[in-house]
């Protein structure tokens, strides 16, 4: 489906869901949940926690859907809700301690130079980024969102997003170059 048609369909589904249409809401959830799960999993580094965050975000979204003035803003709005839920979970402290304990318990991969090793190295490099840089890199590269949308989601100016993205790229380059022979 064409990207513009996807946007129009999403806007239509948002309007119907806000008016109480359960089939439209089910279709909206079905269309957006995979994207939101990917984003939350990259942000948190934990697929199970990501499922919980996305479920909580949908509950919050359902409560506030009628207050969304412009259906075209739905993507930034729903990503912002998921992002806030992720940040809340990271800030809770216990989650961060469990994540770092899990990362240190992972076996080290001996570099065979294959594509799978690069994927593991990239995943580990992303996990080592500060949360604000990981968020913008995840949204920019993983979800193909533009700078303005990421700024709306993160609640920061576009220049801040650009700066964080620049620093994330530099940190990833350094991290990945250190892994290569």
Which domain does 21 fall in, by range? 1-106
Residues 167 and 148 occupy one common structural domain: yes
Which of 106, 124, 148 terminates a domain? The answer is 106
Which of 106, 136, 166 terminates a domain? The answer is 106
Q: Is the pLDDT of residue 45 over 50?
A: yes
Q: Taking a C-beta distance cutoff of 8 angstroms, is the pair 161, 154 a contact?
A: yes
Q: Check which CATH number belongs to the domain holding 179 and give it.
A: 1.10.10.10
- 121-142 pLDDT tens trace: 777 788 888 888 988 988 888 8
Residues in the chain: 181
Q: Taking a C-beta distance cutoff of 8 angstroms, is the pair 74, 14 a contact?
A: yes
In whole angstroms, give the CA distance from residue 96 to residue 22: 36
Which of 63, 78, 106 terminates a domain? The answer is 106
> Which residues are CB-contacts of 54 (< 8 A; sequence separation ≥ 6)?
33, 36, 37, 40, 82, 85
Side-chain-side CA neighbours of 175 within 13 Å: the count stands at 18
Residues 112 and 146 occupy one common structural domain: yes
pTM to 2 decimal places: 0.68
Structural domains of the chain, count: 2
- Mean pLDDT value of segment 153-177: 91
Residues 2 and 80 occupy one common structural domain: yes
CA distances for 153 relative to 17, 35, 80, 81, 97, angstroms: 22, 14, 4, 8, 26
Residues 92 and 3 occupy one common structural domain: yes
- 47-74 pLDDT tens trace: 999 999 999 999 999 999 999 999 999 9
């Amino acid at each position: 489906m064409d990207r513009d048609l996807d946007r129009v369909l999403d806007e239509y589904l948002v309007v119907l869901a806000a008016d109480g249409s359960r089939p439209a809401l089910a279709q909206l959830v079905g269309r957006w949940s995979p994207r939101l799960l990917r984003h939350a999993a990259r942000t948190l580094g934990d697929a199970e926690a990501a499922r919980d965050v996305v479920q909580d975000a949908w509950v919050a979204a359902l409560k506030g859907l009628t207050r969304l003035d412009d259906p075209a803003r739905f993507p930034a709005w729903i990503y912002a809700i998921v992002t806030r839920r992720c940040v809340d979970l990271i800030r809770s402290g216990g989650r961060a301690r469990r994540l770092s304990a899990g990362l240190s318990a992972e076996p080290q991969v001996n570099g065979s130079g294959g594509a799978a090793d690069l994927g593991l190295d990239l995943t580990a490099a992303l996990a080592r980024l500060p949360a604000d840089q990981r968020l913008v890199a995840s949204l920019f590269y993983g979800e193909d969102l533009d700078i303005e949308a990421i700024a709306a989601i993160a609640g920061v100016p576009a220049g801040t997003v650009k700066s964080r993205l620049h620093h994330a790229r530099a940190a990833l380059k350094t991290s990945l170059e250190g892994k290569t022979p």
